[in-house]
């Protein structure tokens, strides 16, 4: 809600948008909880919701699954895929071979600032 308040939205707009975002990320009913009261996966969902509040055209996700168990990581990846399908470009930075191989979207490999690979439907491969 703070992001929307800063952007100058009315209280009614904020309430509606917060409801939409919490539903999208699967946190309905947890809007008033503190960070210490929710799980790591729920914290990550909160960060994603906050990032989406300003309706960005591009969402940068830097290791969004880094500290999560495999099941929760895949739920976060499903959420990011859904966000992408809704029209937001998602740029994901990860070291996870499993995630790269499962989603099979465009893969760009950079090393020391140089482009090593750019594939439309890539896999994780060692160089």
Q: Report the pLDDT value the prediction gives residue 127, as an integer from 0 to 100.
A: 53
Enter the DSSP assignment of 107.
Answer: E
Question: pTM higher than 0.85 for the full model?
Answer: no
Look at residues 12, 27, 122, 4 and name the one whose alpha carbon lies nearest to residue 76: 27
Burial class (CB in 10 A: 0-12, 13-18, 19+), 37: exposed
Q: Report the pLDDT value the prediction gives residue 98, as an integer from 0 to 100.
A: 84
d(C-alpha 45, C-alpha 41), whole Å? 6
**CB atoms closer than 10 angstroms to residue 30:** 14
Q: Report the pLDDT value the prediction gives residue 116, as an integer from 0 to 100.
A: 87
pLDDT less than 70: residues of the chain: 126-127
**CB atoms closer than 10 angstroms to residue 15:** 14
Q: Report the pLDDT value the prediction gives residue 103, as an integer from 0 to 100.
A: 81
d(C-alpha 6, C-alpha 60), whole Å? 21
d(C-alpha 59, C-alpha 52), whole Å? 8
Enter the DSSP assignment of 12.
Answer: H
**CB atoms closer than 10 angstroms to residue 47:** 14
Enter the DSSP assignment of 24.
Answer: H
């Amino acid at each position: 809600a703070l992001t929307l308040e800063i952007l100058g939205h009315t209280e009614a707009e904020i309430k509606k948008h917060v409801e939409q975002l919490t539903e999208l990320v699967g946190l309905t009913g947890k809007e008033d909880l503190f960070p210490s009261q929710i799980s790591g996966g729920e914290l990550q969902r909160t960060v994603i919701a906050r990032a989406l509040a300003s309706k960005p055209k591009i969402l940068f996700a830097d290791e969004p699954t880094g500290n999560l168990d495999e099941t929760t990581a895949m739920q976060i990846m499903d959420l990011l895929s859904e966000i992408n399908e809704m029209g937001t470009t998602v740029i994901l930075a990860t070291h996870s071979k499993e995630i790269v191989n499962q989603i099979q979207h465009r893969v760009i490999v950079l090393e020391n600032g140089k482009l090593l690979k750019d594939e439309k439907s890539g896999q994780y491969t060692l160089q």
